[in-house]
Structure 1
Amino acid sequence: MPINRKTVAASLQRQGLRAKAARKFKATTNSRHSLPVAPNLLEQNFTASAPNQKWVGDITYLATGEGWLYLAVLIDLYSRKVVGWAMSERMTADLVCDALQMALWRRKMPKGVIVHSDRGSQLRFKGPSQHWLMMLKIVVL
């Protein structure tokens, strides 16, 4: 049964109710950046024969009563366990760095681990972060 917006509004008003307006979705991905894109070394092979060979990461949004929080998580593909995570009110490269630092600390600084993500702009490390990753021979995709 089709019903128009004015009919719904009138019915809500008679009952002393108000509709909650939908918030506009905020785009957080910028695909039009000039930063280099890493090669896809995993090529959809999401298995590992030992711990600390391949970690995969992503960022998700969590709705709270006070607004959105962003959660960055890194998972070891061998054990499927979370090896590092970080949460923040802002989605920045620091959020991902914090999750990576936790993973490296918890896993005793493994060398040569491949860190795979959806290649979002938050994983474009520059300056000291890039140097730090190169010293540990970590490949960030």
Structure 2
Amino acid sequence: AENLWMLTKTECVRGRVFATRAEANLALFEYIDGFYNSRRIQKRLGYLSPIEFEEKHYADQATTKRANLKPRQPSLTN
């Protein structure tokens, strides 16, 4: 948790002046939800961002499904 607050202060808050508490809250929300949670690379995800990891997962899943499809056999009944 301490690392999150340090990064938030360094990357989002430090050097900025907010006119209102609402403006500060919006800046924090945009940083945490818009960047920190979705686009920041993570070691446990193979140095991909959560968005990239999810896109890769679904692409791999679609490729696997296509590879597992068997061609349809012609019907032998007349």
TM-score (norm 2): 0.27
Q: Larger relative contact order (C-alpha < 8 A, sep ≥ 6)?
A: 1
Give the structure with the larger helix fraction: 2
Structure having the higher Rg: 2
TM-score (norm 1): 0.18
Give the structure with the larger strand fraction: 1
